[in-house]
Amino acid sequence: MNIPDDLLYTQDHEWGRIEDGTLRVGITDYAATELGDIVFVEFVEKGSHVAKGEAFGTIESVKAVSEVYAPASGTVTQINEPLADTPELLNQDCYGDAWMVVIEMDDPSEVKDLMDAPAYEEFLAQEAK
């Protein structure tokens, strides 16, 4: 299971990367693998405000439909538009080209609640039990 060291993680299997007060967000390798082949993604509109833990989009695989939740509160300033036409990228490069949105955080200190890579790895191990 690929869990990059430089990212932060939620219990709902989203990752976040801090970039100058903004947070780039996607889903983890674990989430993409568990969902299976992803066939559809849809996000809130650019400029929307999302609260921490609130859904900012929907992912659909052949198995299930899930929501993706904001790791921190803020305004969605960028959306990965090409992902709508190439949802399979999420199964190929979830930490790279398949990022989902960029959130301009209301309170950048909120990220302290997120897990680092070793903590997320431990969380996954606990979940598997």
Partner 1 sequence: MSDRATITRFPEIREPLLRARSAAGKNTRPCPAPFDAADPADLDIAEKLPDIPDVSEVETVRHFTRLSRLNYGIDHGMYPLGSCTMKYNPKISEELARRFQAVHPADTRAMNTVLGYCALLQGYLREICGMDACCLWPAAGAHGELTGMMTIKKAVERSGGARTKVLIPDTAHGTNPASCTIAGFTTENIPSGKQGYLSASTLREHLDGHVAALMITNPNTLGIFEREIQEIARLLHDNGSYLYMDGANLNAILGIARPGDMGVDCMHINLHKTFGTPHGGGGPGSGPVLVTKELERFLPSPVIVCDDSGNHSLNWDRPDSIGMVHSCLGNVNVLIRALVYLLSLGGEGLREVSLRAGLNANYLKSRLSRCFDLPLDTPTLHEFVLSDRYQKEHGVTTMDMAKALMEFGFHPPTVYFPLVVPGAIMVEPTETESLEELDRFAQAMETIAAMSRENPQTLHETPQACPVKRVDEVWAARNLVLTWGAGESNEEDPVSK
Residues contributing to the site for partner 1 (CB under 8 A): 34, 37, 39-40, 60, 62-64, 66, 87-88
Per-residue CA distances from 46 to 61, 103, 116 (Å)? 23, 10, 28
Is the Cβ–Cβ distance between 17 and 6 less than 8 Å?
yes
Closer Cβ to partner 1, 71 or 87, answer by number:
87
SS3 label, residue 30: helix
Residue closer to partner 1, measured from CB, 41 or 100: 41
- Provide the minimum distance between the beta carbon of 40 and partner 1 in the complex, in angstroms, as a whole number: 7
For partner 1, give the closer residue by CB, 53 or 108. 53
Smallest distance, Å, CB 106 to partner 1? Answer: 22
Phi/psi of residue 64, each to 5°?
-160, 165
Minimum CB distance to partner 1 smaller for 40 or for 96: 40
**CB of residue 39 vs partner 1: minimum separation in angstroms?**
4
CB of 13 to partner 1, least distance (A): 12
Q: Where do the DSSP E strands lie in the chain?
A: 8-9, 14-19, 22-27, 38-43, 49-50, 55-61, 65-69, 74-79, 101-105
CA–CA gap between residue 127 and residue 61 (Å, rounded): 21
